[in-house]
Structure 1
Amino acid sequence: MEMIPAPAAPAKPTAPGAAGTESCRARALLGPAGPVRNGNRKPPRGPAGMEQCPPARVPEVGGGCGRGDRMDQAQRERLESIVGHVFADASLPELALRHASMSESRVASNERLEFLGDAVLGLVACERIYQLYPHLLEGEMTKIKSTVVSRQTCAAIGDGLGLPDLLELGKGMKSGALPHSLSAAALEAMVAAIYLDAGLERARRFLIPLLDPRIAEAAASGHQENYKSILQHHAQSELGGAPVYVVTCESGPDHSKLFEISVRVGERRFAAGRGASKKQAEQHAAMLALAEMGVLAIDPAGKPRLIRRNGRAGEGESAHAEEPGGAA
């Protein structure tokens, strides 16, 4: 008698989340270009050599005041031109610019990259402060770092790069001005994207030109009140007048100005100071005037040191160690 084959058993239902897990494992093994054969291809790896699973695609949720659609080739090329890096993993810059309002889950937004980028940014900032100012103590370096990695500074950098124009935003974000926190978050997420795509050295090369001018400005502004205050005191007590600061030269384009400011007390004129802002130039001019008056000395490393205070020999301390308007 002819045997009739038994019907195939129905497929077992997949537990919630299992499909995503299996899909993730499959991507880790197969990769975007197909299976691994004979050891010719390896799964993608992160900076520490760990196997990585590409982020799952998130369903479209509508447009916003920034990019409402997925990043196309022209937008990606524009971004890569801005940050100076061509991404091997195209999903990373897209994720870095995806706001939570555009995602069904916050895990699929740029918040995790923002977390990682904040750490990378802080590391590079600390490294540069340590390298550029070998004479500063821990507390002084911490003050500079807190300014350089602040939300306000990160937002200014992000705005300058034009990152808000590339953000992928949901419909709820389309009205009103965007908060600065979005630009700061986009910058930190982009730092993480570059770090994951090409490593720490590439992230460092991206950040250094952006951070160095702000580190210099924070370092100068941190000492500005002291130098000008010290000069004010000594000028009045020794020269009988208050310092007057005069801009003697202003050069360079609007985005990269160089100021030269001289300081005089009565008929005595001192060497001109220079800086990227008037405040920096005044700070430098006051420091040079104090050196010319013999109030402080500047060592070969650029460290100013008080050698006398109020007509008496000083203790050899750094100029910024003295409080403004110290006791006579």
Structure 2
Amino acid sequence: MWWLLAVISALFLGIYDVVKKVSVNNNAVLPVLLVSSISSAIIYIPIWVVSHFNIIPTTHDFYIPSITLAEHGKLFLKSMIVVTSWIFSFFALKHLPLTIVSPIRATGPLWTLVGAIIIFQEQLSTYQWIGIVITLAFFYMFSIAGKTEGISFRNNKWIWFIILGTLFGAVSGLYDKYLLRHINRMAVQCYFTFYQVILFVPIVLTLWWPKRKENSPFIWRWSIPLIGIFLLIADFFYFYALQNPDSMISIVSALRRGSVIVAFAFGAYLFKEKNIKTKSIYLGGILVGIALLIFGTTT
């Protein structure tokens, strides 16, 4: 039932996308990222403590085992990839409509798919290849819809930011599959969360803090710590799914992109964004492509 775990992850990931948009609107992006990462780390600290002192058994689902120095290095690399993806994605989300950003992020499985074929030699069915073509076609249509809002997919730097964020996210997804073949999922999620904070602290202190009065000021919102909490829950189910030896990273990633439905709906309702009808049609096309990817793995 690894695919069901991926669906649950998608639900929480959709909520995560919404609280991200609420948090970064007219706000400083880098401290938002730092605070949200700290909120995740705080949750993992007591779990790490009870695991380290063997207060819970090693067979417990939440047990965090010790890992080698080399494995710590691999998780630090994962954190670097994710932090890069987040910086690009969060800045794009601040300046672009959620109903533009979320469908672009939904194309992540395509790039993960390419890597999965090359690295893990995953075999795709005819339905899955059709799904790829359909998803790419409707992604192109989204670029046309963006022009009606004055957003050029070719010249707008924030569009390139979200594309780069999506590509780095795809790299992270492939790397996750590799990591989970060798490292316990709880160790991956826990130490990755700690390393995020370690990376964001110097970034905030060097890039944002010296110019905090000139650039966007940081405004506290209760949605900010919720970013880390909802992502933690989404990732818990995501890593659980990937740890199954029968899981396919391309399909897990595709199912996770179903979170776009939640994010898109809230973007239309809460933020009163434009061209919802047209975007809904194009989003439907992307979801049809994703559905074919999923259907292809069950036939």
Q: Same fold (TM over 0.5)?
A: no
Q: Which has the higher contact order (CA 8 A, sep 6+)?
A: 2
- Of Structure 1 and Structure 2, the greater strand share is in 1
Bigger Rg over Cα? 1
Give TM class, smaller chain: under 0.3
- Of Structure 1 and Structure 2, the greater helix share is in 2
